[in-house]
């Protein structure tokens, strides 16, 4: 049987929780879906070694007290099942859920760029390292190099050091002038300025990026370019992330307009599809503060409370200003496109190398000839890398959007999947 809700929210990070709390007083039947065990998203991810901020704990508690809001944790969207109908799966079952209004709060993922040795055991994303540590990974006395771009590098460093790791280098690819200019403007957002001072590190270097991860069976050292010099640093782990990429696959499948890798929304956080809204980092990376206010606006707009939503526009403009400065300061250096060598693996699922891809003109041709993007991640990692490396447009994700049980697919009637 198909279940029905008045308002469906996909994603229980800051934006999704804020949207649900804003819309709940109207008394609508609301469902919140998230693939994590507990609400909070990636930024407020829980785990045995995680410190979840009080704000996140308070929002979770508020959601639990609402009789008209149900949070489906560990739940994934498998396919579209017709107009305003989705096929879902969690650990216990698969089912079809229909809705009147939808708010997409699908967040973002790390941008991973291939370089020699990036598939060695011990190499992860910068955010990936944070998630592993929060989940219980021991890093006591391990030497760690963190490289890539953006404030996430400093946050990952702080998490690692808190759990006993020795961070030997933080390599930020942005130049000193850009980072200094960004820092000088943080007086407009005092909490961010305090955070930057708190996360500061003596091993932080600008105009620096990884050249190669070295080792035979696992990571043993990292070769890093710092300015005009090259250094090799012995280490047990490398955490490397080049910013974030909005998760727009479900939005694209629903027909929502996407521009510059983000869902296009208007002042009310409404997408190009009627009754479909979007908020948070799927509309562009800007941090938890921007995600929270966008979520509240989307939740209020979705229930028709536009006067209340309008009152939050000024706060959104303030945090959008921070996001704009952040994204400008940490824009990727074109030189990063040259890190991969001909024999560097780009598609890890199907073991497709850079030389196998470079001769093709677009993603579709490359996929037909090499099987890139046909593994478990369905191209989420390698197509994003190919977009940066070759300028290829990302592919349209096809159902099933995630691996699913046959019993879940059997919930669909013939012709349901679109």
Task: Answer yes or no: is pLDDT of 118 > 70.
Answer: yes
Kindly report the average pLDDT of the chain as a whole number. 94
| Structural element, H or E, at residue 159 | helix 152-162
**Alpha-helical runs (H) found in 221-353:** 249-253, 288-302, 306-310, 313-329
Structure tokens at 58: 């308070």
The per-residue pLDDT for 417 is 62
Residue intervals of the chain classified under CATH 3.50.50.60 are 2-109+245-326, 113-242
pLDDT tens per residue across span 197-236: 888 889 999 999 999 999 999 999 999 999 999 999 999 9
pLDDT tens per residue across span 23-56: 999 999 999 999 999 998 888 888 888 888 899 9
Under 8 Å CB-to-CB from 294, ≥6 apart: which residues? 15, 18, 269, 279, 280, 283, 316
Structure tokens at 204: 């932080």
CATH topology for 113-242 is FAD/NAD(P)-binding domain (3.50.50)
Distance, CA of 38 to CA of 32 (rounded, Å): 11
3-state secondary structure of 176: helix
**Which range (15-24, 138-147, 211-220, 396-405) has the least confidence?**
396-405
The per-residue pLDDT for 380 is 87
Nearest to 409 by CA among 142, 69, 8, 87: 87
The per-residue pLDDT for 44 is 87
CATH topology for 2-109+245-326 is FAD/NAD(P)-binding domain (3.50.50)
Task: Answer yes or no: is pLDDT of 246 > 60.
Answer: yes
The per-residue pLDDT for 415 is 62
pLDDT tens per residue across span 299-308: 999 999 999 9
How many CA atoms lie within 13 Å of 25's alpha carbon, on the beta-carbon side?
Answer: 8
Distance, CA of 298 to CA of 31 (rounded, Å): 15
């Amino acid at each position: 049987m198909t279940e029905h809700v008045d308002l469906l929210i996909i994603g229980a990070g800051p934006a999704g929780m804020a949207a649900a709390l804003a819309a709940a007083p109207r008394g609508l039947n609301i469902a919140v879906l998230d693939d994590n065990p507990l609400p909070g998203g990636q930024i407020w991810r829980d785990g045995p070694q995680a410190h979840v901020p009080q704000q996140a704990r308070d929002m979770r508690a508020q959601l639990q007290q609402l009789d008209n809001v149900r949070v489906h944790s560990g739940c994934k969207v498998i396919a579209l099942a017709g107009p305003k109908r989705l096929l879902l799966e969690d650990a216990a079952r698969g089912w079809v859920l229909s809705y009147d209004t939808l708010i997409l709060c699908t967040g973002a993922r790390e941008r991973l760029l291939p370089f020699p040795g990036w598939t060695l055991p011990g190499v992860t994303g910068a955010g990936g390292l944070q998630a592993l540590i929060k989940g219980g990974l021991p890093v006591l006395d391990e030497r760690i190099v963190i490289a890539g771009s953006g404030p996430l590098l400093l946050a990952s460093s702080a998490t690692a050091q808190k759990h006993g790791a020795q961070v030997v280098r933080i390599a930020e690819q942005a130049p000193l002038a850009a980072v200094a200019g960004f820092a000088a403007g943080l007086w407009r957002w005092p909490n961010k300025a305090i955070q930057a001072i708190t996360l500061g590190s003596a091993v932080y270097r600008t105009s620096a990026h990884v050249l190669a991860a070295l080792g035979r069976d696992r990571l043993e050292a990292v070769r890093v370019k710092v300015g005009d010099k090259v250094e090799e640093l012995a280490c047990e782990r490398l955490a490397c992330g080049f910013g974030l990429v909005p998760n727009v696959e479900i939005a694209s499948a629903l027909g929502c307009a996407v521009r510059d890798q983000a869902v296009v929304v208007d002042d009310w956080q409404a997408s190009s599809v009627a009754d479909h809204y979007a908020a948070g980092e799927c509309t562009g990376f800007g941090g938890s503060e921007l995600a929270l206010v966008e979520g509240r606006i989307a939740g209020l707009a979705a229930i028709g409370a536009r006067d209340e939503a309008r009152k939050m526009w000024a706060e959104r403009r303030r945090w959008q200003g921070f996001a704009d400065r952040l994204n400008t300061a940490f824009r990727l250096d074109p030189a990063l496109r040259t890190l991969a060598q001909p024999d560097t693996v780009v598609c890890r699922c199907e073991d497709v190398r850079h030389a196998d891809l470079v001769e093709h003109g677009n993603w579709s041709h490359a996929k037909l000839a090499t099987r890139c993007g046909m593994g478990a991640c369905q191209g989420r990692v390698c197509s994003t890398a190919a977009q940066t490396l070759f300028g290829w447009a990302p592919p349209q994700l096809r159902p099933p959007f995630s691996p699913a049980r046959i019993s879940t697919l059997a919930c669909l009637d013939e012709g349901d999947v679109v």
